[in-house]
Structure 1
Amino acid sequence: MTTPGSTSSSPSRPPDAADGALFDAATVEHGIIYAYGVVSAHSTPETNGLVSESIAGHRELREEAIARLAARNVMPPVPAVGYQMPFVVEGPAAAAKLAVRLEEDSAVAWRAVLEQAKASDDREMAVAALTQCAARAAKWRAVLGVVPTTVAFPGGTE
């Protein structure tokens, strides 16, 4: 998972479990969007479409999470100034490996939303997000030549 590189002035995590999970997911999405910039910088032209698709998907998830929090009068998280990558990225293979890691991290966050959600529309969003993360992770694993490209339970350790 990416970690903020500096102290953020983000609002506090809400105490409600459902809102807290959604807040956490938005926070994770901020870091993932940042990290996809690193992926993009080290990717080959053949994967540019997948990079663009991935960034756009995570921006949509982040914006939807922020909108849902705002609708509940919960201050959404703000992005950090920078983020520490989980490992050094030098070249296309490491970039694809980072992309897989990002999709896995996002799946963990959205699975928590699914587990904590009280509203059916939040659960529906979380299931859609999990599905999107699993599909993108499979595409990135295929880029790496990893077999199998899918996991049984995205976002979990089962």
Structure 2
Amino acid sequence: MTSPQPQTTPTPSESESARPADPAAAALYDALVTEHATIYGYGIVSAHSTPEDNWLVGQALARHREQRETLIAMLDAQSVQPPLAAPGYQLPSVVNDPTEAATLAVQMENDTAAAWRAVIEQAGAEADRAVAVGALTHSAVLAARWQQVLGVWPVTEAFPGGPE
């Protein structure tokens, strides 16, 4: 997964949006951190994708921005300060060509699927689980589309977002 860089000690204003102790709220918080990183990562994917694949970047970015806004609203409804996006993120691998870009996209979609699966597992509210199921499904579909771009088979996983 992409991670914020550089890692420093939080300032007092950053500690105000500390990760909540409640498992359900913490899962939402973590999902938002992952969505922020994924949106950043898709900027890199876009820069290195072929023109034929850039429609998929646009579709993925729109979906992840939508999910980010949904998560912010969900956290606000629980009176949890949403984490801000970092100014930059450390990518898990070097991206210099379309294949590396598509590989990064698959990894980001798998990361977001894992984050949303955690929301499903921790959420107490049916509405939160429904949102998470939709988001996990979208991440799994996007991962499959990127797998097709890479020519990888099979394009899907039996249980997206998990180790199974």
Deviation readout 1:52-89 (Å, 9 max, x if unpaired):
00011111111100111011111001001100000000
Structure 2 unmatched runs, 5+ = none
| Superposition pairs of residues 15-94 of structure 1, within 5 angstroms | 15-94=21-100
Verify: 1:147 aligned to 2:153, yes or no: yes
Verify: 1:157 aligned to 2:163, yes or no: yes
Verify: 1:131 aligned to 2:137, yes or no: yes
Deviation readout 1:31-69 (Å, 9 max, x if unpaired):
000000000000000011100000111111111001110
1:106 aligned residue? 112
| Superposition pairs of residues 3-14 of structure 1, within 5 angstroms | 3-6=3-6, 7=8, 9=14, 11-14=17-20
Taking only aligned residues, the RMSD between alpha carbons, in angstroms, comes to: 0.9
Moved over 3 A (4+): none
1:2 aligned residue? 2
Q: Which amino acid aligns with 1:119?
A: A
CA distance in 2: counterparts of 1:73 and 1:101, whole angstroms: 31
Q: Which amino acid aligns with 1:4?
A: P
Count of residue correspondences: 158
CA distance in 2: counterparts of 1:139 and 1:24, whole angstroms: 25
